[in-house]
Amino acid sequence: MKRRRRKKRVLRGCLSPAVLFLLLVLVLWILCARSCRQESVEITEAHGVPVQTLYIREGDAARPGIKRKIKYIVLHETGNSAKGADAARHAMYLRFNNEDDTSWHYTVDEKEIYHHIPDGEVAWHASDGLDNPGGNRNGIGIELCVNSDGDFERTFDNAARLVAVLLDAYDLKPDDIRQHADFTNKNCPETIRNNGRMEAFVTLVEQYRTSE
């Protein structure tokens, strides 16, 4: 019995203040690492709109692979009015032809949605580097197509459906819906801003959130 007591006293002596401090730092680091990253939700449809997945290749400059916490939904417009510049065309560009690091998470048109980067990873869409918090660091970037042969009203509606799903998936609020212009001086999403339709968009998102 005496030997056992001595061993216990020796073990207690090994846990010096320095060791306890290091253990505390390790625990805090693990907790911080978990809180600073978020698992992505795989979405196959958004209130009836099909979501196709064609991810940018891992290792490409447009997909840095940086894990993060999701805090915002960031709206953009593609600015590409060319005929045929729909969601599928943008998905193919990002997957196979993108020569720089520009990227975003979803492209929406009047008939479908394409998913390009997992939601829990950084994409380069908000023009603010890795500011924390920031559009790139914490935002899911969504591009609305403005191709001349498309139907922007339906694209607008489909984007609201997607945002409604994403708000629920990541426990976000309507106030967390942002515009590209909130992070830079660029007038984007241009059509929505020029026509004063941001409030209408948020209202439509809320309608879809409460429709089921």
In a domain, 183, yes or no: yes
Same domain, 22 and 108: no
Same domain, 111 and 18: no
Same domain, 21 and 75: no
pLDDT recorded at residue 38: 72
pTM value is: 0.83
In a domain, 7, yes or no: yes
How would you write the chain as a 3-class SS string? CHHHHHHHHHHHHHCCHHHHHHHHHHHHHHHHHHHCCCCCCCCCEECCEEEEECCCCCCCCCCCCCECCCCEEEEEECCCCCCCCCHHHHHHHHHHHCCCCCCCCEEECCCCEEECCCCCECCCCCCCCCCCCCHHHHEEEEEECCCCCCCHHHHHHHHHHHHHHHHHHCCCCHHHEEEHHHCCCCCCCHHHHHCCCHHHHHHHHHHHHCCC
Over 50: is that where the pLDDT of 30 sits? no
Same domain, 87 and 112: yes
In a domain, 40, yes or no: no
The domain containing residue 18 runs over which residues? 2-35
Same domain, 30 and 49: no
Same domain, 59 and 156: yes
Same domain, 120 and 75: yes
Mean pLDDT of all residues in 28-55:
77
In a domain, 53, yes or no: yes
pLDDT in tens, 58-102: 999 999 999 999 999 999 999 999 999 999 999 999 999 888 899
Same domain, 15 and 93: no
pLDDT in tens, 195-207: 999 999 999 999 9
